[in-house]
Amino acid sequence: MERPENDGATAIPVSVLTGFLGSGKTTLLKGLLEHPDMEQTAVLINEFGEIGLDHMLVREVSEDTILLNSGCLCCTVRGDLVDALRDLFIKRTKGEIPEFRRVLIETTGLADPAPIIHTMMTDPLLSVRYRLDGIITTVDAKHGLKQLDNHKESVKQAAVADRIVLTKTDIAPEDGIQSLQARLKSLNPAAPVFRIDHGKAKPNALLDAGLFNPKTKIPDVARWLNAEAYAEPGHDHDGHGHGHDDHDHGHDHAHGSGKKALDVNRHDDRISAFCMTLDRPVSWDALVAWLDALISAKGDDVLRIKGVLNVAGEARPVAIHGVQHVFHPPAVLPSWPDEDRRSKIVFIVRDLDRKVIEETFRAYMAAGEEIESKDAKPGA
């Protein structure tokens, strides 16, 4: 991970719409496309016919791109997603298609959203021109509990989501919906859960979930991290009064349980989510070394990392965002949102002990401080 140099605010936000088979992605997408707030949105789907766009079709721009009367561009994904996103941006630059200000990608029902996100993070053009706004996951209110029990794909789609949409709530029993909501909250504490009927959702509730507001280009750190969602009831959120000794450096004020009794019959019991709050500025080199070691050893199980850091020697906060093995380019933010200068890192992990993550972090920070101290001595 390179040292941060830019804020990423001008990149085009991309939202990924995912969810298990039959969970209502297509119905939700169709409802979103009919909303006036979706104007100037480019949509990537597998097949036009799947969402019945005939009544919305204005004209064909190219073989695989149509312009809808809502002001949206709708494109089929034929082959490589990289080619599709590159082609969209080039045509936009040349004026061959109307201007678009956001992108929405619909995945298949069995899709893991991680490869799409990895594509955006690692391709040289895409990582500069586009940025992940958020992952929207649809969950069937009637069958969601059973799908979480039986399908690990369903669990991962919910675990990495920024927004969760409960569909078919009109035909699901209320007690079942309540149980499903509680389970989703345990699985992914920070993701708001919305109920919708017949795909009628407001785009402003589901989109603009990323670090930057596309309209103002101003970062909203508190909303993006939602670190408060990981605090345990009765836990000292200020990170004081824990009796840490001098070797702890104030680095292990972690919030969120991260501890579940493992039930092999429930895939989501393998998932934990928590927030580490760090009192002291962190060494960038030590942080990168630690993250490299963590993802090299356990990258498949580090489902998502979000963080806003107080980096030693940097006056402004630095945002980091990773999905499994891959990280977005770090972003230097214009300013701190308030007087709190503590670093906060949110983790969603699978089969990983929070204590191990915290202990290895402290070890790398201590090693980094020792190296810096030796380098600072005359003649060292």
Question: What mean pLDDT, rounded, does the chain reach?
Answer: 84
Domain co-membership, 141 together with 97 = yes
Domain co-membership, 48 together with 196 = yes
Per-residue pLDDT tens over the stretch 151-187: 999 999 999 999 999 999 999 999 999 999 999 999 9
pLDDT of residue 3: 66
Arithmetic mean of pLDDT, 181-208: 91
Per-residue pLDDT tens over the stretch 50-96: 777 766 766 677 778 888 888 888 888 766 888 889 999 999 999 98
* Beta strand extents in the chain (DSSP E only): 12-19, 41-45, 57-62, 65-68, 73-76, 102-106, 130-140, 163-167, 193-195, 253-255, 271-278, 302-309, 318-323, 326-327, 331-332, 343-350
Domain co-membership, 43 together with 151 = yes
Number of domains in the chain: 2
User: Structure tokens of 309?
Assistant: 């850091």
Identity of the residue numbered 32 = L
- Which CATH number covers residue 279? 3.30.1220.10
- The answer as to whether 105 is a domain residue is yes
Domain co-membership, 201 together with 348 = no
Domain co-membership, 118 together with 234 = no
Domain co-membership, 16 together with 150 = yes
Per-residue pLDDT tens over the stretch 202-243: 899 999 999 987 777 788 999 999 999 998 643 433 333 333
pLDDT grade for 373, boundaries at 50, 70 and 90: low
pLDDT of residue 67: 85
- The answer as to whether 191 is a domain residue is yes
> Domain of 250?
227-376
